[in-house]
Amino acid sequence: MIGKISVKYLSLLVTIGLFILMYGFGSVMYDGFFSPQVFLNLFVDNAFLCVTAVGMTFVIVSGGIDLSVGSVIALTTMISAHLLETSHWHPAAVIVLVLLVGSSFGFAMGSLIHHFQLPPFIVTLAGMFLARGLCYIININSIPITNAFYTEVSQFRIPLPGHSFVSINVIIFFVVVIAAIFLAHYTRFGRTVYAIGGNEQSAVLMGLPVGRTKVLVYTINGFCSALAGVVFTFYMLSGYGLHAVGMEMDAIASVVIGGTLLSGGVGYVLGTMFGVLILGTIQTLIIFQGTLSSWWTKIAIGILLFLFCLLQRLFETGKGLKTQGTTGEQKA
Amino acid sequence: MTNATPTLFRRLTSTKLFWPLLALALLLAFNLVFTKGFFHIEIKDGHLYGSLIDILNRAAPLMLIAIGLTLVIAASGIDISVGAVVAISGALVAMLIGGTLVLKGGVQEYVTLLPMSVAILVTLAVSTAAGLWNGFLVSRIGMQPIVATLILIVAGRGAAQLITNGQIITIYYKPYFFIGNGFLLGIPFSLYIVLLLLLITLFLTRRTALGLFIESIGINPKASRMAGINAKNLLLGVYAFCSFCAGIAGLVVCSNLKSADGNNAGMYFELDAILAVVLGGTSMTGGKFYLIGSMVGALIIQTLTTTIYSIGVPPEITLVVKSVVVFLVMMFQSETFRRTVFGKFTKQVVQS
């Protein structure tokens, strides 16, 4: 039993350990790396990534994948910018609308995946191009946002001790993480998601609402992407069809580095948060290093992603061998 | 009941090539009516010119990728890294050839970093190595294909940007432009590359047992292994071949544009290529594959793009139209969808 628990949390511990190690490495190597503001900036600069990665965690735990999140973020910034600047909508109405658009987008994709039994990655790949295309239909250029509410939120700084600050985005970040942890571990929905990811067939046989949950998972991810889009709009103060290109890869990488199994069934929202922080630390390290070009960030993330996938495979094959030998025992 | 349906019609519609060809014919018919001079072909400077030739030339990179991807999808895999490989290949060849204009004794001469043939060989070798990497992850480590190729997307795009330093590299070497812009016997040279690759692939998959092996892996990997098929090496080869094709496509794209752009080259190619393969009748779940169908699929996509450009709709809408087409094709390929929609029109005996 104890062995089982430690294995269960092992990947999470590896992730947290890696984060501490990387941050420690930066602190030792570079002056000024170990300051409250540099640490807090990890949250400030990656709030949108974390929000969308949290949604992605649910999708991957359920055994699916969603490649459309980056495009949905771009679409959200585009719709927000267009409605605020051209149609002069009230900011609250804009936010409510984009969240609805994102959720419906996710709902539609989830329904296709569930009802027609289509492979998730191709449905969401098509969704990715649809959302990106819709951005360009609204406007092919970047639209700067001058709306008073948006600029105020963007510039608002919540002071913290030690002459540091965080933005409102960080508050949204933490609210989402806490809500997601609650949803994943303390609700019936969360347990169903884990059950589907573990074995969909068994979940159906147990009488769990598999279809409804799967559609809901994609809907939640659509909502999270749209919320990430709102956060991203606060961060960038513009709407552009080329925003967040490749963000889906970063989100998936964060989730995987955070210890969620790509085959589904195992994963932690908290791990995803640390995955995002690791990605942020890589970026900060490369900025502090100074001579490496920013392209190295992508290569480093690619390598890290590879290592974690490899680690997962090793765990999986190890687990597979064990369960093969003691199937009856574990079931009993 | 539908017993009275003419058998000829049945036979026609049951061939896999019928639907893609019909779609292509409809698109062309649309252009015949709405686009002036669409079918006009004339000979200028000994070359054929016209919209149709243009479509063929522009579809070449997509056709090349579709050849490789057809095999990957047939083996029930997927390679979404083809766009990144196109970017790497273009960036690498541009860097290796480079090309500067030098005055030598009053005569202008192009000097390259490496001889063109060496540069091309190195680029194709690197592209194939990228595919071997994908194949290694899928066949040896046992990763899901989507994840394995995802890693290459993330790292590959970074590598391409690293090579080009995030900028657009322009090539100044005339002979290289021939690949993407040249004409041989009045027909674009790139088409000969497509034809050659297609014929070799067709020969290897249809005249040897290789095609059958790939299909059997796609239909049932376990059973094919039991039957003594070396699935691991075959998968490795299929992924390597797909990246090799993407590498050639990268050369054509880069030669056609006379420059390499690490940031945007090959962007959205993966969707186009998947769409071409799926339109051609190969199922996403693997199994039987149709190389000629994929070629028709690629032509449909390029005709669609050219049509959108020529009828004056904003070109940005292309992405939306393509994704809608993917959604529709996907749904028609789904057994469940066909049953729910068409089940209402035909009487069926309740099974089981």
Which value, in Å, is the radius of gyration of the alpha carbons in chain B? Answer: 22
Q: How close does chain B come to A262, measured CA to CA in Å?
A: 8
Residue with tokens 């995002």: A276
Residue B4 distance to chain A (closest CA, Å): 31
Which pLDDT does position A332 carry in this prediction? 30
pLDDT confidence of B216, banded at 50, 70, 90? confident
| Opening angle at CA B18, ends B60 and B351, nearest 5 | 130
Residue of B nearest to A242 (CA): B264
Chains A–B, number of C-beta pairs less than 8 Å apart: 134
A309 lies within 8 A of chain B by CB:
yes
Query: What pLDDT does residue A37 have?
Result: 84
Chain B residues touching A117 at Cβ < 8 A: 334-336
Q: What is the pLDDT of residue A221?
A: 94
List, as ranges, residues 228-287 from B with C-beta within 8 Å of A: 268, 270-271, 274, 284-285
d(CA A279, CA A42): 9
Residue B200: partners with Cβ closer than 8 Å, 6 or more residues away:
none
Q: Do B158 and A249 touch (CB under 8 A)?
A: no
pLDDT > 90 in chain A, percent? 32
Res B107: pLDDT: 66
Residue A329 lies in a domain: no
pLDDT recorded at residue A8: 65
Q: Establish if B308 touches chain A: CB-CB under 8 angstroms.
A: no
Q: β-pairing, A157-160 with B168-170?
A: unpaired
List of chain A residues whose C-beta atoms are within 8 Å of the C-beta of residue B329: none
pLDDT reported for residue B261: 79
Type of residue found at B160: A
Cβ atoms of B323 and A126 within 8 Å: the answer is yes
Q: What is the pLDDT of residue A328?
A: 34
Give the H or E element holding residue B145. Answer: helix B145-164
Distance from CA of B146 to the nearest CA of A (A): 8
What distance in Å separates the CA atoms of residue A268 and residue A255, rounded to the nearest whole number? Answer: 9
The pLDDT, as a whole number, for residue B13 is 61
SS3 A87: coil
Chain length of chain A: 332
- What average pLDDT score do residues A146-154 get? 86
Cα dihedral angle (B116, B122, B127, B129), rounded to 10 degrees? 170
Chain B residue with minimum CA distance to A134: B320
CB contact under 8 Å between A293 and B142, yes or no, is: no
The CATH number given to whatever domain includes residue B189 is: 1.10.3470
Quick one: which of B202, B221, B217 has its CA closest to B293?
B202
Three-state secondary-structure class, residue B233: helix
Burial class of residue B348 in the structure, from the number of CB atoms within 10 Å of its CB (0-12 exposed, 13-18 middle, 19+ buried): exposed
Residue B43 has pLDDT above 80, yes or no: no
pLDDT tens track for A166-185: 888 888 999 999 999 999 98
Name the residue facing B158 among A112, A252, A298 (closest C-beta).
A298
Residue A86 lies in a domain: yes
What is the number of structural domains in chain B?
1
Best residue of A115, A306, A307, A319 to probe chain B, by most B CBs closer than 10 Å: A306
Of B268, B317, B331, the CB nearest to A116: B331
Return the pLDDT at B108. Answer: 65
Judged by a CB distance cut-off of 8 A, whether residue B342 touches chain A is no
> Tell me: the pLDDT tens digits for B183-211?
777 778 888 889 999 999 888 888 888 88
Average confidence (pLDDT) over A215-234: 93
Residue B33 lies in a domain: no
pLDDT tens by residue, B253-298: 888 887 777 777 777 788 788 888 888 888 777 788 888 888 988 9
Residue with tokens 């998972």: A217
Q: What digits encode the pLDDT tens for the residues A78-128?
A: 999 999 888 888 889 999 999 999 999 999 999 999 988 888 888 888 898
Q: What is the mean pLDDT of residues B233-249?
A: 91
Q: How far apart are CA B54 and CA B191, in angstroms?
A: 11
Q: Is A291 on the interface with B (CB under 8 A)?
A: no
* Confidence band, pLDDT 50/70/90 cuts, at residue B232: confident
Radius of gyration of chain A from its Cα atoms, rounded to whole angstroms: 20
Of the given ranges (A231-240, B160-169, B295-304), which has the lowest mean pLDDT? Answer: B160-169
- More confident: A158 or A221: A221
Question: What residue of A is the nearest CA neighbor of B321?
Answer: A130
**Residue A223: count of CB within 10 angstroms of its CB:** 22
Chain A (168-227) residues lying within 8 Å, Cβ to Cβ, of chain B: none
Average pLDDT, chain B: 80
CB A36 within 8 A of CB A164: yes
What residues make up the domain containing B112? 56-342
Hey, is the C-beta of B334 within 8 angstroms of any chain A C-beta? yes
Q: List the structure tokens of A199.
A: 């074995």
Domain range for residue A167?
Answer: 2-324
DSSP code of residue B4: G
CA distance A296 to chain B (A): 7
Total structural domains in chain A?
A: 1
Predicted pLDDT of residue B106 = 65
Angstroms from A306 CA to nearest CA on chain B: 6
**Is the per-residue pLDDT at B118 higher than 50?**
yes
Residue A24 φ then ψ, to 5°: -60, -40
Q: What is the pLDDT, as a whole number, of residue A224?
A: 93
* B323 vs A: CB within 8 A: yes
CB B99 within 8 A of CB B137: no
Name the phi and psi angles at B104, rounded to 5: -120, 105
Question: B104 by DSSP, 3-state: which?
Answer: strand
Answer yes or no: do B268 and A263 touch at CB < 8 A. no
* A137 Cβ under 8 Å from any chain B Cβ: yes
B291 to chain A, any CB pair closer than 8 A? The answer is no
The β-bridge partners of B109 are B102
Q: How confident is the model at residue A69 (pLDDT cuts 50, 70, 90)?
A: very high
User: Pick from B57, B56, B77: which is nearest to B241 by CA?
Assistant: B77
| Nearest residue of B to residue A311, measured between CA atoms | B141
Report the pLDDT value the prediction gives residue A181, as an integer from 0 to 100: 92
In the predicted structure, residue B6 carries a pLDDT above the cut 70 = no
Determine contact: B144 vs chain A, CB below 8 A: yes
Asked, for residue A330, whether it belongs to a domain, the answer is no
Averaged over A11-17, what is the pLDDT? Answer: 84
The answer to whether the beta carbons of residues A264 and A63 sit under 8 Å apart is: yes
**Above 60 in pLDDT, residue A326?**
no
Instruction: Answer whether B301 touches A (CB < 8 Å).
Output: no
Whether B274 sits inside 8 A of A296 (CB atoms) is no
Nearest 10 degrees: Cα torsion B165, B169, B175, B180: 100
pLDDT at B352 over 60: no
Evaluate whether residue B348 is within a structural domain: no
Residue with tokens 């393509």: B322
CB–CB contact B153 A249 (8 Å): yes
The pLDDT of residue B10 is: 65
Q: What is the pLDDT of residue A140?
A: 83
**Do the domain assignments include residue B39?**
no
Three-class DSSP category at B53: helix
Q: Shortest Cα distance from A88 to chain B (angstroms)? A: 25
ipTM of the complex: 0.75
Query: How far B41 CA lies from chain A's nearest CA (Å)?
Result: 32
Is the four-CA dihedral B300, B296, B324, A262 of positive or negative sign? negative
Of A129, A252, A298, the CB nearest to B268: A129
Cβ <8 Å between A119 and B147: no
| Nearest by CB: A299 against B162, B319, B335 | B162
**B51 found inside a domain:** no
Does any CB of chain B come closer than 8 Å to the CB of residue A295?
yes
Angle at A53 between CA A49 and CA A59, to 5 degrees: 155
A253: left (phi over 0), alpha (psi -120 to 50) or beta: alpha
Inter-chain contact B151–A309, Cβ cutoff 8 Å?
yes
Region A65-84: mean pLDDT is 92
Contacts of A299 in chain B (CB under 8 A): 155, 158-159, 162
Please check whether residue A331 lies inside any domain of the structure. Answer: no
Asked if B274's CB is within 8 angstroms of A122's CB, the reply is: yes
Residue A151 lies in a domain: yes
The whole-number pLDDT of residue A321 equals 46
Chain B touched by A134 (CB under 8 Å): yes
Q: Is residue A59 part of a domain?
A: yes
Cβ–Cβ of B156/A296 closer than 8 Å? no
User: Which residue out of A113, A309, A311, A315 would a mutagenesis test of the B interface target, given it has the greatest number of B Cβ atoms within 10 Å?
Assistant: A309
A293·B165 Cβ contact <8 A: yes
Query: Phi and psi dihedrals of A186, rounded to 5?
Result: -125, 10
Q: Domain holding A86: CATH number?
A: 1.10.3470
CB-based contact B320 A126, cutoff 8 Å: no
The answer as to whether A76 is a domain residue is yes
**Distance of alpha carbon B117 from the chain centroid:** 24
Q: Is residue B11 part of a domain?
A: no
Q: List alpha helices for chain A, DSSP H.
A: 2-29, 36-61, 69-85, 91-115, 120-138, 148-155, 168-186, 188-198, 200-205, 210-236, 247-257, 269-289, 295-325, 327-331
